[in-house]
Copies of this chain bind each other. A is one copy, B any other.
Amino acid sequence: MIGSTNKSTFTKSNHLSPIRYKLYYWPTIQGRGEVIRLAFEESGEAYIDVARNKPEKKNDHPELIDMLQNGSVNTPPFAPPFLVDGNLIISQAAAILQYLAPKIGLISDDTATQIFAHQIQLTISDLISEAHDTHHPISSALFYEDQIEESKRRAVYFTKLRIPKYLTYFEKILTKNHGNSEWLIGDKLTYPDLSLFQIVEGLKYAFPKVFSKLSDDYVKVMTLRDAVSVRPNIAAYLASTRRIEFNTMGVFRFYPELDE
């Protein structure tokens, strides 16, 4: 799977040379890898989504497993997603974005800006983990069906307390940004904007009833979400088959009984 093939890709990289970036992530979910896919897509930078490169065998992703278990890798990842760039292997979504963003035009070279962006991204990672645990509060080794009662109890606190706490925080950052823009930092889109878009989409999918009641309270977050959605490369990505649909295998899952 190769990223968007608009003109800017061919401007940036010679299509005769090998594609530099290889993303390793589960091929059937958005999950924790989607924030990285969004960054590649917005930038127009070509990338290989390794495990999705063989659509005829969707559950066969030996490359991914091999990289996790391969004895020759000196800096092994704990889990997907991970990015391979030459000899470097980088795991942890926030660390991947921190590394990648300056190289693909999604953050400036300013140190303070990069530090703040990374903090926001790590907070988004925390929210994603908490969202995951609404349907797996006991263990990822169990099916959701084996922890429904605990899930229902956790989801109440997540939707009543945690979603508002996180969205209030992002709204506060947007309010404090004096960059006269709809973005989190300064006057240009940076990679955490794409990830915040993803959070909103995920929460809307997983908790439609809850989210429809909440969203009016976070005007700036919703404005950012809309602004990301109409970026030409993002709009093209969302309309393509490269965007995996939300489903009940990923981080954000729609179970009506958790959306109260």
Contacts and interface: CB of A to CB of B under 8 A. Distances in A.
Interface of A: 73-78, 87-88, 90-92, 94-95, 99, 112, 115-116, 118-119, 122-123, 126, 129, 133, 137-139, 141-142, 150, 153-154, 157-158, 161, 166, 169, 172-173, 176, 178
A169 B78 CA distance: 7
Contact of A173 (B76, B173, B178): B76
29 contacts: A74-B176, A74-B178, A75-B116, A75-B119, A76-B169, A76-B176, A77-B119, A78-B123, A78-B126, A78-B169, A87-B112, A88-B112, A88-B115, A90-B119, A91-B123, A92-B119, A92-B122, A94-B122, A95-B115, A95-B122, A126-B129, A129-B129, A133-B133, A133-B137, A137-B138, A137-B154, A139-B158, A139-B161, A150-B153
Nearest to A129: B129
Copies of this protein, total? 2
A138 B122 contact: no
Nearest to A150: B150
Contacts of A169: 76, 78
A138 B123 CA distance: 19
Contacts of A91: 119, 123
